[in-house]
Structure 1
């Protein structure tokens, strides 16, 4: 590690040039190639996938592409008035001529008569595409929205709903720039030096910019969700500033201790640099653990996020040393440089406030442990009522066309019209057709069904007949009642109607896909958690040569995850303080978010665990006194951990200012987890528990010590401890 960092320091011009070439080159290539983000969910064995396959086989009108709705409503008169129709018909003709549009069903045709609401104030036209949404360019999606809304003037409102309409308003980075500005302010206060403040921001920006470009290029090789760039930036900016902060802090401490810039950087490399390397690899391992869920929707998010973290780690270990070469002693404030020149080097001193805090915890470890656990458990209680599900367009930001169309459909037809179910199956004989009709008859009186149009029987491209039955639920797509209806159709209604006929009918549609996706993720979540926790435990055991340190770290991270999930449940599902972040409605938590958040926060929390415990381990090897090691480790790192946590919280929280609900949840979940981790767990619970365990913290069976590979964060004697103030260890006791 020392050789790598010092090489980059000596060849600063080369390293900076390489990073600039990488950033500019990747950005240009990404812009030239474009991005092909796809929110594709592949569940080959599910009912919804089988239904979609059958719909694609309908001869001459296969629903292989997405279907949009143009919803219009009038505030005076009815939609059947001549003046309204005179504005709608030409608009629909223009839509029919747009790229990829295969069919437009107007409510003014016999085929679309059911698309006019009972009070005749709301109606919709169905627009069928010959390609899925991800194959429709954002500019073409925007063209559909613009053409449709051009007819809306005065008393006529026209909006568009569907996956293609959503591509016209992709997720944004929200207030990420505000977060960076706030982070810069914290760095300036922490260091008192403008140059020290700029360094972490530059390294994070360069690495995240490169990471986002790589994610854009990945879209041409694998399925990458639309929200991936925002998640990539979220993770990269958060850890990027922190990693640079850890290194700059240790480097500055070395300069103040009288070391030359090269010596100070060498010490920073073998201490904080190794901590950054291990922490970054742990975050990547946690994120890549999402592959154990075996759902292609998560692969792009996992790869993009891990690439961003890997690049920020590399930038901290290569680009940052090169930039330090250019700045030299200017990373210190003028007052610090003047004091160093006048008074000479000074031994590193512990933060007085953090020293007093640490000694207080050591004196009262049991009350400190109980108090911190009480806070965590209280925050985690809402997690027990978390419901996983895909939020519908009713939770889109106000002012978007998808949100407006959702509200119009719900007002005119009922909320279920925003997410119809589609029952499909082969109906080649009279018995099969009769079974389909029996299903339709059963649904006509179902208490959870708002409407069921007449069943359609269409020839299949490969021969035979395919039955298509549309079902409009009485509840919104995201409601639990709708998921219950899907299960009722599959478990009771369809089997009862088709018994003895050999007919197989499948429940599909976007809402059914969401139900299957949620169920698949819920079933695989325990395995994912076990894999991430297990791998993290092994890595920490290898580094710290201990069993209790990784065990307590794993348990504490699970508690932090529970508390973070409790907070997002209270805000986004219960509605607590939702108005403060622009959420005027509540809904379930997207099923993939617990996977993403757990991987992210479990990995990120390891940053502080490694940074704190590594410093405690340094003091333990030097003093062989557990209590003194805990006090000195916390006193030396408390200020840095607090500053790093504040920065990460500000960056994560800034994403809450964005309009996309998924990005809001991810930002708030990670921000709350990091804040709780730094303030309660690392600053209170970890030192209290380590004080209670005493020397047992560093116990490792000899047989296991021989088996585990050697990987230490600090190098004996490389950190310059010989020049530190000598401290006589206190007599050993059972609690040390």
Structure 2
């Protein structure tokens, strides 16, 4: 790492040139990132419901869960056949040239897709493409479809594809607004933390380079495999937070190194090339190692999410991993080169109170000394708070999002509510049963006898010469209700083979089952790999295990708070959202990986600093005080930035970004304040030399890694 630091400092023009090519090259593709990325992928590959979607799309005129339902709702009195035919004709004209859509529009049918009072009718635009392309088709046509409304009736595109279209649009807008708010707040915090305009600006420039490169990389990767648009949303947020984390640690260390090396030298010798190169090497040999290990921990944590067989979840992880990779690469190459080019000018624009104040923080040094003298009470109080906040997690419920996650004025929600009101609560989540002619009557009878089914439609023969029969059943409850999941489970248990059960509601249930099944495996993988990396980095099994355990504790506390807010609704009026009674289904898997990655990020910073000072003087008590003095301010500032970034998403109107911002913000706040600045330093003090003990056989197995420069 020291040699890499020297090389980047000596050859910084090469580094600038390479990064200019990377940023410009990927930047040319970056503007297309939100328009080209996929909009769907919320499914569990290989499940029964996905099979049903593929069968109905191929054999029943595209009448699958991905089809677009066009709801025609009269404002006054029954709809005339002429009005219905006119809308169907115009819908056909709008979609005729789109190869993603089936050319035959399924017209409303009395008794099934026309309400009893004839005020509402549903036409169906068949799907003839992947779910991602169907969402894009809705993006392209929903304005034209809603424009068919007149003063006599409204027209709303709805259904699963329309839901994801409006869902993605609302969340994209919310994410962009939150990012715009978070950047100036971040800069203000950075200026206060660094006390220098130049030093504060470096992390933002570094993160911007990483974000542009990752955005272009996602567009290019999307040509190979569909990447969820959420990948970029998460990548933007996570890269900003982590990029600032890494830059804080590096810039702080470089400023200390350059100030130390210039001390006592005549002005003519200060800030020489040799001084700057040596400072870059020292920074990389200490902070650079910690950042590399931290970045690897983040990547390992997120890579475990790739085990989940859901395209949207996997590609969100890929998006963040790509952004973290670029930010990490920039932190370890571009940043040391820029710092070496600036030298002591990195302190340009210093604010009055910060001039000449680099290195150890007297304030956090005093706090470290206090914990050294009185470790037990702060540790017990901190531990008690975390356990109390974690206890509600045992009552946490998860489910795929309901219609409440899209704004009230979204066309898909308006259409959904009309369908539910006119046809029944379960109508928006019709269950599709595909079977053969020989078992069709038996399947229809079993479905009709199910206590959670309100109505069963007449069996429908395939549009081609195949033997498939489609039976649609309407649940009694809303698609996100547990009663609908019970209906699906009972049907699958009772129906004769080869009957298959699917539909949009079934796809959500199957995805949730997959997420629930894979979550324990993902969590265990993350914990084991996180511990292994800490063990390799620190060469100390005791503190590596304790560091992993306390990171898990802060994660549990964050989910406990999430249960109180988003499931139980505490504070919902203040935060302006309607609680669903559960946490969105991807939360445990995805947020666990993200929270644990951030927690381990701080763990590496603190313990790497403590290990560095322990290697210098072999005094565990002094190492704990020095670790707080040298890393406490960085951890505090980094946490302040992260909390500001994440909490800006709490201002979003849609629930998912609000949920994400509050959960991650609370996690960082709890982790930084209660664990990194209280519990973990107290544990270091209490465990003493035992924290750094390692058996001889393990020492011989582990690679030689030292943080001492």
Query: When the two structures are superposed, what TM-score results if normalisation uses the length of structure 1?
Result: 0.87
Tell me how far 1:193 sits from its aligned partner. Answer: 1.4
Q: Structure 1 stretch 563-572 or stretch 83-92: which is displaced more?
A: 83-92
Q: Quick one: which of 103, 107, 117 aligns to 2:115? A: 117
Of residues 223, 230, 233 in structure 2, which corresponds to 1:230?
Answer: 233
The CA distance in 2 between the partners of 1:697 and 1:291, in whole Å, is: 33
What displacement does 1:351 show?
Answer: 2.6
> In 2, Cα distance between the equivalents of 1:401 and 1:639?
48
Deviations 1:117-136 (A, max 9, x none): 33444332222122233224
**Aligned: 1:379 with 2:377:** no
The equivalent of 2:266 in structure 1 is none
The equivalent residue for 2:146 is: 149
Which segment is superposed worse, 389-398 or 686-695?
A: 389-398
Is residue 441 of structure 1 aligned with residue 440 of structure 2? no
CA shift at 1:4, angstroms?
1.6
- 1:213: how far off? 1.6
Change beyond 3 A, Cα 1:42–1:547 = same
- Equivalent runs, 1:207-218 vs 2, <5 Å: 207-218=210-221
**Alpha-carbon distance in 2 for matches of 1:54, 1:631:** 65
Once the two structures are overlaid, the 10-residue window that deviates more, 293-302 or 470-479, is 293-302
Match of 2:242 in 1: 239
Task: Tell me which residue corresponds to 2:49.
Answer: 48
Q: Are 1:545 and 1:705, in contact at CA under 8 Å, matched by a contact in 2? A: yes
List per-residue Cα deviations over 1:4-39 (Å, max 9, x = no partner): 223222333332232122112113246689735253
Partner of 1:11: 11
Summarize deviations over 1:513-557 as a string: whole Å, max 9, x none.
Answer: 111111122122212111111111111111111111111111111
Q: CA deviation at 1:433?
A: 3.4
Determine which of 386, 392, 396 is the counterpart of 2:402: 392
Confirm or deny that 1:454 pairs with 2:464: no
| 1:731 equivalent in structure 2 | none
2:133 maps to 1:130 = no
| Shift >6 Å, 4+ stretches | 336-340
With 639-648 and 448-457 compared, the bigger mean Cα shift is at: 448-457
Deviations 1:283-321 (A, max 9, x none): 111111123334444332222211111111111111112
Give SS of 2:73's match: strand
Residue 244 of structure 1 contacts residue 316 of structure 1 at CA under 8 Å; is this kept in 2?
Answer: yes
Shift of 1:337: 10
- Note if 1:290 corresponds to 2:294: no
With 246-255 and 377-386 compared, the bigger mean Cα shift is at: 377-386
| 1:688–1:43 distance in 2 versus 1, CA, 3 Å | same
| Inter-partner Cα distance in structure 2 for 1:571 and 1:590 | 12
Shift of 1:581: 4.4
Map of 2:631 onto structure 1: 637
Alignment pair present for 1:555 and 2:565: no
Cα separation, partners in 2 of 1:117 and 1:378, compared to 1, 3 Å: farther
Find the residue that maps to 2:28 and give its secondary structure.
helix
Map 1:319-718; keep pairs closer than 5 Å.
319-333=334-348, 350-427=360-437, 429=438, 432-443=439-450, 446=451, 448-458=452-462, 461=465, 463=466, 465-491=467-493, 493-494=494-495, 498=496, 503-658=497-652, 660-712=654-706, 714-715=707-708, 718=709
What CA RMSD, in Å, does the superposition of the two structures yield over aligned residues?
2.7
Distance 1:534 1:440, change over 3 A: closer
The 1:349–1:29 alpha-carbon spacing in structure 2 relative to 1, beyond 3 Å, is closer
Alignment gaps of 5+ in structure 1:
719-736
TM-score normalised according to structure 2 size: 0.90
Task: For 1:237 and 1:672, locate their aligned partners in 2 and report how far apart those are by CA, in whole Å.
Answer: 17
Counterparts of 1:527 and 1:85, CA distance in 2: 52
> Against the structure 1 CA distance between its residues 297 and 598, is the aligned structure 2 distance closer, same or farther, given a 3 Å change threshold?
same
Contact 1:389/1:590 (8 A) holds in 2: yes
Structure 1: distance between partners of 2:32 and 2:359: 53
Aligned counterparts of 2:191 and 2:152: Cα–Cα separation in 1: 54
Secondary structure, counterpart of 1:157 in structure 2: strand
SS of 1:415's partner is coil
Change (3 A) 1:96 1:278: closer
1:436 touches 1:467 (CA, 8 Å); kept in 2? Answer: no
Query: Contact 2:57–2:126 (CA<8 Å) still a contact in 1?
Result: no
1:348-371 per-position Cα deviation (integer Å, ceiling 9, x unaligned): 664333233223323332222221
The answer for the alignment partner of 1:730 in structure 2 is none
Checking the alignment, whether the CA contact within 8 Å between 1:23 and 1:209 is kept in structure 2 is yes
Compute the displacement of 1:391 (Å). Answer: 0.8
Whether the 8 Å contact between 2:38 and 2:229 is mirrored in structure 1 is: yes
2:272 aligns to what?
Answer: none
Residues 394 and 406 of structure 1 are in contact (CA less than 8 Å); yes or no, is this contact kept in structure 2? Answer: no
Q: Offset of 1:82 from its aligned partner?
A: 7.5
Structure 2, gaps ≥5 residues long: 263-274
The more displaced of 693-702 and 169-178 is: 169-178
Cα pair 2:390 2:560 within 8 Å, conserved:
yes
What does 1:45-194 align with in structure 2 at a 5 Å threshold? 45-58=46-59, 61-63=61-63, 66-75=66-75, 77-81=76-80, 85=84, 88-89=87-88, 91-99=90-98, 100-102=100-102, 103-107=104-108, 111-136=109-134, 138=136, 140-154=137-151, 156-165=153-162, 166-167=164-165, 169-170=168-169, 171-172=171-172, 173-174=175-176, 175-194=178-197
Instruction: Name the CA distance, whole Å, in 1 between partners of 2:425 and 2:48.
Output: 23
Task: Summarize deviations over 1:323-380 as a string: whole Å, max 9, x none.
Answer: 224433232155689998xxxx88x664333233223323332222221122112222
TM-aligned CA deviation for residue 52 of structure 1: 2.9
Distance 1:129 1:632 in 2: 63
Secondary structure of the residue that 2:461 maps to in structure 1? strand
Q: How far apart, CA to CA, are the structure 1 residues paired with 2:326 and 2:106?
A: 50
Cα distance change on mapping 1:334 and 1:160 into 2, 3 Å: closer
CA spacing shift, 1:42–1:390, aligned 2, 3 Å: closer
Asked whether the 8 Å contact 1:571–1:577 carries over to 2, the reply is yes
> Deviations along 1:569-617, whole A, 9 cap, x unmatched?
3333222333444423425333333222122221221221111111111
Bigger Cα displacement from structure 2, 112-121 vs 409-418: 112-121
SS at structure 1 position matched to 2:77: coil
1:60-119 Cα distance to aligned partner (Å, 9 max, x none): 6254682111223334x2241589658735543434535133232333xxx354223334
Q: How many residues in Structure 1 have an aligned counterpart in Structure 2? A: 688
Name the residue aligned to 1:281. 296
